[in-house]
Amino acid sequence: MRAKTLLYEQFALVGKALAHPARLELLDLLAQSEYAVEPLAAAAGLPLSTASAHLKTLRTAQLVTSRREGTRIVYSLAGEDVAGLFAHLREVAEARVDGVTPARRAYLRLVPDDAREDDPVWDEVGHDDLLDRVRRGRAVVLDVRPAIEYRAGHIPGAVHIPADELAARLDELPDTEIVAYCRGEYCVLSYDAVRLLTRRGRRAVRLAAGMLEWRLAGRPVETTAA
């Protein structure tokens, strides 16, 4: 019995590491790119000391790794299996936990079902449809994530304009349909981008899901030198 308990205690290390919303958000960010601890804490809206403590817990469970670059400590996911675990956790939670759907709708500012026609973010395209539209020259792909995440990996050929710069840089986009994407299906950036583009008279839809799901599906990914 003791040997079995020790085994399950090892499994529980992963469960304990996942059992905090801030640590899940850190994993969400690290699933996009490696980050130095200071900008990672800023992106998650956490004090540096708090972020460091959470990262220590994730590192103890071997979900993240770290390395030193000069005076900086840089964190990364320990592997693609960790990204898959994070994605699957969200899927199970949405399927099983009643509170996920209303929380998701509130965060993404989704209108009630009977008002869907008034909100352009309900229009989305799948991965295969996106590739077909791009091959036919019918759409341009727009990545609205921060620059560090775009450089780490993006859909090949995607135009990069961070969400907070989009309003001032609309003229850089060609006069064709725009397919916007961000981190994943729970990322608000692409929703906000489509709403802004539509208000400005542009044809825009969202990519179903985002970069996390694109990569986990084995789709091609392009990187850019810093």
Domains and CATH numbers, the chain: 2-81 (1.10.10.10), 115-216 (3.40.250.10)
Residue 76, both tokens: 């990364």
| Dihedral angle sign, alpha carbons of residues 85, 97, 106, 24 | negative
Nearest to 54 by CA among 37, 71, 31, 78: 37
How long, in residues, is the chain? 226
Using one digit for the tens of pLDDT, what is the confidence trace for 106-155?
999 887 766 666 678 888 999 999 999 988 999 999 999 999 999 999 99
In the chain, the N- to C-terminal Cα span, in Å, equals: 53
Separation of alpha carbons 152 and 221, rounded Å: 9
Three-state SS sequence of 110-163: CCCHHHHHHCHHHCEECHHHHHHHHHCCCEEEEECCCHHHHHHCECCCCEECCH
Show Cβ contacts of residue 36 under 8 Å, excluding neighbours closer than 6 positions.
69, 72, 73, 74, 75
Contact residues for 52 (Cβ-Cβ < 8 A; gap 6+): 37, 41
Would you call 61 helix, strand, or coil by DSSP?
A: coil
**Among the listed residues 203, 55, 206, 181, the one whose alpha carbon sits nearest the alpha carbon of residue 121:** 206
8 Å CB contact between 216 and 80: yes
Reported as a single tens digit per residue, the pLDDT across 2-17 is 999 999 999 999 999 9
| Digitized pLDDT (tens) for each residue of the chain, 226 residues in all | 899 999 999 999 999 999 999 999 999 999 999 999 999 999 999 999 999 999 999 999 999 999 999 999 999 999 999 999 999 999 999 999 999 999 999 999 887 766 666 678 888 999 999 999 988 999 999 999 999 999 999 999 999 999 999 999 999 999 999 999 999 999 999 999 999 999 999 999 999 989 999 999 999 999 986 5
- Please give the Cα distance from 116 to 220 (Å, whole number): 32
Query: What three-state secondary structure class fits 59?
Result: helix
Say if residues 202 and 178 touch (Cβ distance below 8 Å): yes
Determine the residue type at 115.
A
Helix ranges (H only) for 67-114 are: 80-96, 100-107
Q: Which residues are catalytic?
A: 182
